[in-house]
Amino acid sequence: MNLVSMQGKKQQFLWLIVCVISLILFASIVAMWDIVDDGYLPNTDQITTEQEARKVNALTVPKQTLEIRTGIYLQSLNFVSAYDVYVSGTLWQTFPNEMQVDGPQLYFPEQVNGTMKPTLRYKVRKDDVTTYGWSFEVTVRQPFDYSVYPLDHKTFWLRMLPKDIGMNVLLLPDLSSFPSTALGDVFGLDDQIVLGNWTVNETFFDYKQNNYTTDFGFMSTTKHQQNELHFNVVLKRKFVNAFVVHLVPMLTVAVLLFAILLNFSHCKKIASSNGFSKMSVIGAISALFFIVVISHVDVRTKFPSEGLIYIEYFYLIMYSMMTLVVMASFVEYREEHLLSKFLANDSLILKLMYWPVLLSTICLITYCVLF
């Protein structure tokens, strides 16, 4: 009786250690998620004043270049696919009074829905310049990176180029039209904009130099170079939504798989009362397998051109754990086999190692992929 009592206390102590280790591993995973989710730092290359804009273009733009003040105000933004984003809003530009203007003197080179057809909304004349405002809508395609989904931050940009590539035109961001354009500020977005699964970290203007591999027929001896104006919106995915959709089902499957493992017993009477058999284990795990596969296929169809993304490692881990449990069920009743010592005491070691192995694998993969 004392021996049984000592074994029971030993098992309780082992389970206590397993619980502590599992909680530490789980807390480590959550801490890494939090660091990545809230770890965005403002882009230091952004343009915050007109003086900075002119300084950036000083070496590449001729002095006789026409400066066209350009502003953007977005009223809707929607991901229509993994790489296509629909936006609409107001675009304005300021020109000298004597200049004939028949529409925006820019275009979006990444648009995929045909020619932009803006509608003139207003025309304001002040001193020797006139500001034209157009409403517009466009769908643009960009190469977003989803490797750390669902902890990803996306920088959506509107890339703007002068309409007439042969003219010396500089698109100058109209920063004075916004209350504040400092690092980390959000401007150029409607307060009532609906972003669905996203929140905004910041917005900003910047220039990116594009070295074209052609002279566009200008017969020049050097390839064409141009600083392109970008209006950027930095978005952060709402992790809670993705957690509920993907990780909660995976956690549920992991718990159910552990429940199946707890029914393992060398005693046939106990196993029979628990409903344990090889075929029952295969049937239960087959049902869990289809749940995991359906969810995995849904993720894969969303990002068909991506490599292995972070969330997919959870599915691969669950496939491995299910395979191991099925294999263990086939050797459970055998008296002599290579794993007899490992599966002794009703597979106690296997049951004790389940959560530490599962969580330590997730912890290691999380660190390697996210950092």
pLDDT of residue 66: 85
Q: In the beta sheet, which residues pair with residue 94?
A: 69, 131
Q: What is the pTM of this model?
A: 0.84
Q: What is the chain's length? A: 371
pLDDT of residue 185: 92
pLDDT of residue 202: 94
Residue 317 CA to residue 201 CA, distance in Å, equals: 32
Dihedral of CA atoms 42, 45, 51, 57 in degrees, nearest 10, equals -160
Better pLDDT: 268 or 103: 103
Evaluate whether 106 touches 162 at the Cβ level (below 8 Å): yes
Owner of token pair 């890339």:
159
- pLDDT confidence bin for 262, thresholds 50/70/90: confident
- pLDDT confidence bin for 75, thresholds 50/70/90: very high
Record the tokens describing residue 295, joined without a space.
């969810």
Cβ partners under 8 Å of residue 155, min gap 6: 43, 232, 233, 234, 235
pLDDT of residue 271: 56
Residue 84 CA to residue 76 CA, distance in Å, equals: 14
For residue 175, give the DSSP letter.
Answer: G
Q: Domain boundaries in the chain?
A: 17-37+241-370, 50-237
Question: What number does CATH give the domain 50-237?
Answer: 2.70.170.10
- pLDDT tens, position by position, 330-350: 776 555 555 555 565 667 888
